[in-house]
Amino acid sequence: DTTVKQNPRYKLARVGKPVNLICSQTMNHDTMYWYQKKPNQAPKLLLFYYDKILNREADTFEKFQSSRPNNSFCSLYIGSAGLEYSAMYLCASSSGTISNERLFFGHGTKLSVL
């Protein structure tokens, strides 16, 4: 099974409210990633976990949090949603620690902030 699952598929949130997105994989992959994708833009890496170590990108450091309670699950948490957070959020996993390994993506969660 090479599936990465994301929940929910669609998420509606109010400005200022928290948002929690969930991702799971059953491939026993070491690394799990969260990307943000807006229309006509490239997917942008927000953060990734290698095993239990969280790495966050410098420009999104304070905007997103994440947890990985076990190898299979990873969450993305937004403490206070703003209109600029409206986007598709893609979770991915890979078996290696280097970026030469292919990524397996979920179908994404479309977040709309109103």
Query: In 10 A of CB 8, how many CB atoms?
Result: 11
Measured from the CB atom, the residue of 26 and 97 that comes closer to another protein is 97
- Which residues 73-92 are close enough to bind another protein by CB under 8 A? 90, 92
32 binds another protein (CB under 8 A): no
Measured from the CB atom, the residue of 17 and 24 that comes closer to another protein is 24
Which residue ranges make up the site for another protein (CB under 8 A)?
Answer: 4, 31, 33, 35, 40-45, 48, 50, 55, 90, 92, 97-100, 102-108
